[in-house]
Amino acid sequence: MAECVPSRATGMEGGIVIKDDWPGYSLELFTYPEHYREDIESVYIPHGVIMDRTERLARHIMDDIGDHDMVVLCVLKGGYKFCSDLVEFIKVQCRNSNKHLETRVEFIRLKSYLNDQSTEDLHIIGSQDLSVLRGKNVLIVEAIVDTGKTMKALLKHVEAFEPKMVKVAGLLVKRVSNVVGSLPDYVGFEIPNRFVVGYALDYNEYFRDLNHICVISEIGKVKYKI
The reply to whether 85 belongs to the active site is: no
- Enumerate the β-bridge partners of residue 2: 18
| Closer Cβ to ligand HPA, 183 or 197, answer by number | 197
Q: Which of residues 183-212 bind ligand HPA (CB under 6 A)?
A: 195-197, 201-202
Q: Which of residues 117-156 bind Mg ion (CB under 5 A)?
A: none
CA distance 23 to 12: 27
Question: Exposed (0-12), middle (13-18) or buried (19+): which is 98, by Cβ within 10 Å?
Answer: exposed
2-6, strands of its sheet edge to edge: 2-6, 13-18, 186-191, 165-174, 137-145, 70-76, 103-114, 117-127
Q: Total number of residues binding ligand HPA (CB under 6 A)?
A: 9
Question: Exposed (0-12), middle (13-18) or buried (19+): which is 196, by Cβ within 10 Å?
Answer: buried
Closest CB 207 distance from ligand HPA, rounded Å: 8
Q: Which does 142 bind (CB under 5 to 8 A by kind): ligand HPA, Mg ion, none?
A: none
Among 55, 88, 116, 202, binds Mg ion (CB under 5 A): 202
Catalytic residue from among 39, 85, 146, 185: 146
Question: Is residue 80 a contact residue for ligand HPA (CB under 6 A)?
Answer: no
Binding track over 138-167 against ligand HPA, x by CB under 6 A: ------x-x---------------------
Sort strands 117-127 and 103-114 into parallel, antiparallel or unpaired: antiparallel
Question: Catalytic site residues?
Answer: 146
